[in-house]
């Protein structure tokens, strides 16, 4: 089944994959964070998603108008081309290569911004960095329909 990116169904598909891969995520350990994903489209149009992780599971993934009212730990924000490039790379390699991992995209160059208010909660990006990357890597075998 094809899923559109960006869409709630895309993140719900990752949530379902995560449930199917429960052993893998249980081995990685507790994964307690709520973070946002912002996809900036043409004309600065923003689509925001709130992802909630608890213990070993993704508890919810939903699209919302404004992330500020939701108080996420941090927000990963990039334009749609950057997200699509990352996902295509994940699909070609079965997981992100070093140039397309969240680590590289958020810390080198302008590819992806990390937005946060509270340094302690921002550090959850580091405390759960392997789980976060493995979550996005679950897109490797999704059939994704990219918005033009």
Partner 1 sequence: MAYFADRQYFDDPETIKRGTEFGEGKLILDWYEIENDRVRCTPSDPRRGLTYEDCSKGAYSWDLLPEFVRHNYSMAARGSVLVPGLPDMGYTENRKSDIWADNIGELYEESKSRRWAPAVDIDWKALAATDFDPAVTASMCQLCTTLSEVSLVGMEFPSRWVYLVNQEFLELKSLLCAQMMDQARAVEVFRKRALSSGGLKRASANVQQALKELLMADNYIEGSIGINLLVGSLLLGVYRVAATASTIDAHLFRRCQQDAARRVAYGMGNLAYHLAHREGRQEVLNEYLDLVEHCFAGIAGATEMLEPLIVIAGGGTEPGQVASGRARVASIYRVVVDEYLGRLAAAGLERRDRSRLPAFFAAA
How many CA within 13 A on the CB side of residue 119?
0
Nearer to partner 1 among residue 71 and residue 97 (C-beta): 97
φ/ψ (deg, to 5) at 46: -110, 135
The count of residues interacting with partner 1 (CB under 8 A) is 28
How many CA within 13 A on the CB side of residue 15?
17
* Using rule CB under 8 A, residue 28 touches partner 1: yes
* Site of tokens 């991992």: 101
Instruction: Note whether 104 and 82 are within 8 A (CB).
Output: no
**Residue numbers 77-136 binding partner 1 by CB under 8 A:** 93, 95, 97-99, 101, 103-104, 107-108, 118-120, 123-124, 126-130, 133
> Minimum CB separation from partner 1 for residue 103, in Å?
5
* Using rule CB under 8 A, residue 8 touches partner 1: no
* Using rule CB under 8 A, residue 71 touches partner 1: no
Edge to edge, the sheet with strand 113-115 lists: 57-64, 46-54, 33-40, 74-79, 113-115
> Minimum CB separation from partner 1 for residue 120, in Å?
5
φ/ψ (deg, to 5) at 103: -55, -55
Residue ranges that bind partner 1, judged by CB under 8 A: 28-30, 32, 55-57, 93, 95, 97-99, 101, 103-104, 107-108, 118-120, 123-124, 126-130, 133
């Amino acid at each position: 089944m094809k899923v559109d990116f960006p869409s709630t169904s895309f993140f719900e598909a990752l949530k379902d994959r995560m449930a199917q891969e429960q052993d893998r995520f249980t081995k990685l350990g507790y994964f307690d964070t709520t973070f946002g994903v912002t996809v900036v489209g043409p004309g600065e149009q923003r689509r925001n998603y709130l992802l909630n992780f608890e213990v070993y599971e993704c508890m919810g993934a939903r699209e919302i108008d404004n992330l500020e009212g939701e108080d996420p730990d941090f927000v990963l924000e990039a334009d749609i081309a950057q997200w699509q490039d990352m996902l295509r790379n994940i699909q070609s390699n079965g997981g992100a290569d070093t140039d397309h991992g969240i680590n590289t995209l958020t810390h080198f160059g302008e590819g992806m911004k990390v937005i946060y208010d509270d340094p302690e909660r921002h550090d959850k990006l580091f405390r759960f960095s392997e789980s976060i990357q493995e979550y996005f890597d679950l897109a490797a075998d999704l059939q994704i329909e990219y918005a033009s």
